[in-house]
Amino acid sequence: MNQKNSLGLNQCFLDLDNPIELFKIWMDEAKKTEPNDPNALSLATSNKDNIPSVRMVLLKEFNQNGFVFYTNLNSQKGNELKENPKAAMCFHWKSLLRQIRISGTVTQVEDDVADQYYNSRGYESRIGAWASKQSMQLSSRDELMNSIKEVKKKYNDQNKVPRPSHWSGWNLYPSSIEFWLDGHNRIHERLKYTMDKNGSWIKSLLSP
């Protein structure tokens, strides 16, 4: 007999009042079962004209204050987030038959936070942050490769590659987090946490 939580859901949903705690537990389990990149997520943004776009990025940090990812601030997603600071994330772990959806508002991380993460990256990745004009049209692949060569000449000391001002992180502060578990015959299990005006999380069951 499958054990259930107090809401009648699979025991993997537990009985927690804080969704960040449940997210951590599910993420830790995904790290053990996913073949690669358990921190990969689809990030949805939209511009000022409400035209949506989505792409995969990697989650680099999370805590009670939000979910952090890094990018070129002049990329399509960077420009869209500057125009419209609302975004949504979706994690899907096929090995666990689980999904998490997060919606909220984004703000740019502090410079010292971005510096710390940037400096933890490998030399080639730091060079790439300078060389790539992310989302801009290339005349050829050689244009990018030549740019990489030029940046390497400029920053040939691997310990002295400063963070570009156009490269930083975004923190998504969640207003809602939904946990989803695949069910037999598409009778899935869904639990949504929504933050109220007082900053408290309210739990609700959703129909599959």
- Residue 197: give its domain's CATH number: 2.30.110.10
Does the annotation mark 186 as catalytic? yes
Q: What is the pLDDT, as a whole number, of residue 3? A: 86
Task: Using the Cα atoms of residue 28, residue 31, residue 32 and residue 33 in order, give the sign of their dihedral.
Answer: positive
Closest CA to 99 of 37, 30, 173: 30
Which helix (DSSP H) or strand (DSSP E) does residue 173 occupy? strand 167-181
- The residue count of the chain comes to 208
> 180: how many CB neighbours lie within 10 A of its CB?
20
Domain membership of residue 197 (yes or no) is yes
Residue 139 lies in a domain: no
Determine the residue type at 116: Q
- pTM for the model stands at 0.93
Residue range(s) defining the domain that contains residue 184: 11-115+169-206
Q: What is the pLDDT of residue 97?
A: 98
Distance (Å, whole) CA 173 – CA 178: 14
Number of domains in the chain: 1
* Residue 64 maps to a domain: yes
Residue 177 lies in a domain: yes
Q: Looking at the domain assignment, is residue 126 inside a domain?
A: no
Other beta carbons less than 10 A from residue 94's beta carbon: 12
Residue type at 50 in one-letter notation: N
Q: Is residue 128 part of a domain?
A: no
User: Does some domain include residue 159?
Assistant: no
Question: Which pLDDT belongs to residue 193?
Answer: 98
Is 127 part of a structural domain of the chain? no
DSSP state of 97: T
Find the catalytic residue in 55, 126, 163, 186. 186
pLDDT tens-digit profile, the chain (208 residues): 578 999 999 999 999 999 999 999 999 999 999 999 999 999 999 999 999 999 999 999 999 999 999 999 999 999 999 999 999 999 999 999 999 999 999 999 999 999 999 999 999 999 999 999 998 899 999 999 999 999 999 999 999 999 999 999 999 999 999 999 999 999 999 999 999 999 999 999 999 9
Integer CA distances (angstroms), 13 to 5, 122, 180, 189, in order: 7, 37, 9, 9
Helices (H) and strands (E) in the chain, counts: 5, 9
